[in-house]
Structure 1
Amino acid sequence: MQRICVIGGSRYVGKLLVQRLLAAGHQVTVINRGSTPPPPGVEHLVADRDDETALTAALGSRTFDAVVDQVCYTPVQAAIAARAFRARTARYVMTSTIEVYDPATAALPAVPHGTPVPEDVVDPAAWLVRMDLPWHDATYLESHYAEGKRQAEAVLTREGGFAFASVRSAHVLGGGAREFTGRLAHYTGRIGRGAEIAVHAGALPTVFIHHEELADLLLWAAVATEFTGPLNACSDELLDVRGLVAVIAARTGREPVYRTVAAGEAASPFSFDRHYAMSNARAKDLGFAFSRTTDWLPGAVAEALDASTAQAA
């Protein structure tokens, strides 16, 4: 049994992670602002992670074998966490994102076209941190999501005083009505209505991960391995937007209607005109086995369709 702290943990992947940690026999503490109570058997600390004094007070004298941070979006939040947990945990795992590799949001080292992106393309140990940017502004943060994650990784890498790992998640799907992005519901709805799907002329492939697989990987990263640094988390198999839509269309029994957008024009979710599909080779070398996207995607689509039908009833 290990003592695990989850920051966030009230919805979707975080909630599932807490359930898995409990089922595996670990002692779990959840820290959030109290909007949703954790399941029975979980210690609940109510605190705003942005308030360092309140967070430190809530933690008291507690120590942990590992912390999993589901909701770290800025270097300011990372710096507060680094100070608060420096003497309280030996291991800190932050959930990050594929968006750190998006060439539209930063000047990144060139990767041969079509080559899945490895972790060292974004090195948090060398990334510039700007604490003076308006990270407290919700509008700024939304438009600088990728940069906030890059800088948060950088702060925890350099200032934590604990073994730090960041899990860079692919686009997460699955969960039916619980899927917080609503992107599968977007496609099932549009295909069902015969509405147009806007795509780039040469839409490039990306990578996905099922929400249950991501929860499994986060548990593994927290308690079953000692790797440090960034780790890409994505199911095997690259898929472009047309491949994704084909799976959804097969389940709905309707043919998709496409509209090709001009360069620079907004397109439907997961239609990308730039390459940043990730490589999961490092995680495999460390011992984690991934599923194939097309093995779980039909089931995720079926869940989304069932949820849509239930909501309409």
Structure 2
Amino acid sequence: MQRICVIGGSRYFGKLLVQRSLEAGHRVTVVNRGSAPPPPGAEHLVVDRDDEAALTAALGGRTFDVVVDQICYTPVQAASAVRLFGDRTARYVMTSTIEVYDPATAGLPPLAPGVPVAEEHVDPAAWRVRLDLPWHDAAYLEAHYAEGKRQAEAVFTREGRFAFVSVRSAHVLGGGAQEFTGRLAHYVERVGRGEEIAVHREEQPSVFIHYAELADLLRWAATATAFTGPLNACSDGLVEVTGLTAAIAAASGGQPVHRTAAPGEPTGPFSFDRYYAMSNRRAKELGFVFSRTADWLPDAVTEAAATAPAA
């Protein structure tokens, strides 16, 4: 049994992480602003993690074996967490993203076509941190989401007084209406209505992960002690957007209508003009067993179709 603190955890894979941690016999404390109650059995601290004084007061004398931070988006939040939890926990796990590898925002050379990117491509220990940038501005944060995650990883890696793991998640699918981003629903609705779907001229594949698998991986990373550092999280197998819409059509009986986007024209959320895959080799070598995207994708699109508005 471990004492686990989950920051966030009010929805989707974060909520499932809390539920499965409780089922495994762990003591769980959930810290969030109270938008939704945690599963029964979890302690709930209702407080804004950006209010450092209020969070300090809410935590009181509590200590934890591990903290899982679901909602750290900036180096400012990371620096606050280091101050708050440096003497309260031995291990800290941050949910990060595949977006840290985006060459358009990272200022790194493009990835080699056909070669899944490994964790060392973005080294948080060497990344520059800028606490003076307007991270509290919502529009700035949205436009610099990937950079915020990179700099947050850097702060924890260099300044944290605990063992630190950053889980760089692939695009998360599954869960039907729980999938709050609406990215899969974007395609389900268009296929169902026979609407055109703008795609790049030369479609490139990416990687995905089921929300339940990500919850399990986060719990595994939290309760392990043998490793630290970045960890790529993606199911086995690549998917192009045309493969995704084909799976939707198979589940719904619709017919996808693809249109090649003009140069500079926006496309859907999973249409990529660059090879966009991660290697999950490190997590496998450490002992985690991934599923195959092809095995769970049909059920994920069926769930999404069942909750989509009628055509």
Specify the SS of the correspondent of 1:80. Answer: helix
Tell me, in whole angstroms, the C-alpha distance in 2 between the residues paired with 1:111 and 1:274. Answer: 9
Higher mean displacement: 142-151 or 34-43: 34-43
8 A Cα contact 2:103 2:109, kept in partner: no
**Hey, what's the Cα distance between the residues in 1 that align with 2:128 and 2:224?**
31
Question: With structure 1 as the length reference, what TM-score do the two structures score?
Answer: 0.97
CA distance in 2, matches of 1:220, 1:7: 17
The offset of 1:312, in angstroms, is 4.7
SS of alignment partner, residue 283 of structure 2: helix
Counterpart of 1:115 in structure 2 is 115
Alignment of 1:52-71 (within 5 A): 52-71=52-71
Cα distance in 2, alignment partners of residues 275 and 73 from structure 1: 25
For residues 39-188 of structure 1, what are the structure 2 equivalents within 5 Å? 39-188=39-188
- Contact 2:103–2:111 (CA<8 Å) still a contact in 1? no
**How many angstroms apart in 1 are the aligned matches of 2:226 and 2:55?**
26
SS of residue in 1 equivalent to 2:219: helix
What's the counterpart of residue 208 of structure 1?
208
Cα-Cα RMSD: 1.2
Contact 1:129 1:155 (C-alpha < 8 Å) held by counterparts: yes
Paired position in structure 1 for 2:35: 35
Post-superposition offset of 1:262: 2.0
- Aligned to 1:90, the other structure's residue is in SS state strand
Tell me the distance in 2 between the aligned counterparts of 1:175 and 1:266: 27
| Amino acid paired to 1:18 | V
Alpha-carbon deviations, 1:33-72, whole Å to 9, x = none? 1221212211111211111111111111111000000000
* Percent of aligned pairs sharing the same letter: 76
Deviation digits for residues 129-181 of structure 1 (CA, Å, limit 9, x no counterpart): 00111000000000100000000000011111000000000000001011111
CA distance, structure 2, for counterparts of residue 211 and residue 142 of structure 1: 22
Segment of structure 1 superposing worse, 18-27 or 40-49? 40-49
SS at match of 1:65: strand
Aligned to 2:105, the other structure's residue is in SS state coil
| 1:250-261 equivalences in 2 (<5 Å) | 250-261=250-261
Deviation at 1:243, TM superposition (A): 1.2
d(CA) in 2 for partners of 1:143, 1:214: 25
Which residues in structure 2 correspond to 1:218-297 (within 5 Å)?
218-297=218-297
1: CA distance between counterparts of 2:134 and 2:274? 27
**Alpha-carbon distance in structure 2 between the residues aligned to 1:254 and 1:33:** 40
Unaligned regions of 5+ residues in structure 2, if any? none
Q: Comparing 105-114 with 173-182, which one deviates more in the overlay?
A: 105-114
Structure 2 distance, partners of 1:101, 1:288, is 22
Gaps of 5+ in 1: none
1:194-226 CA distances to partner (integer Å, 9 max, x unpaired)?
A: 100000000111000000000000000001343
Change in CA separation of 1:253 and 1:312 when aligned onto 2, cut-off 3 Å: closer
CA drift at 1:254: 2.0
What is the deviation of 1:104?
1.4
Separation of aligned partners in 1, 2:164 and 2:108 = 23
Out of 62-71 and 259-268, give the one that drifted further: 259-268
Question: Aligned AA for 1:224?
Answer: A
For 2:253 and 2:224, how far apart are their aligned partners in 1?
Answer: 43
Q: Following TM superposition, by how much is the alpha carbon of 1:108 offset from its aligned partner in structure 2, in angstroms?
A: 1.6
Change (3 A) 1:110 1:193: closer
Report the residue type matching 2:289 in the other structure. Answer: A
**Matches of 1:126 and 1:109, distance apart in 2:** 16
Aligned equivalents of 1:109, 1:312: Cα separation in 2: 44
Residue type matched to 1:83 in 2? R
* 8 Å contact from structure 1 (residues 103, 276) kept in 2: no
Is the 2:233–2:280 contact (alpha carbons within 8 Å) kept by the matching residues of 1?
yes
**1:105 aligns to what SS in structure 2?**
helix
2: CA distance, partners of 1:53 / 1:169: 30
SS at match of 2:104: coil
Tell me which amino acid in the other structure corresponds to 1:98.
I
4+ runs of 1 displaced by more than 3 Å? none
Q: Is the 8 A contact 2:7 2:30 kept in 1?
A: yes
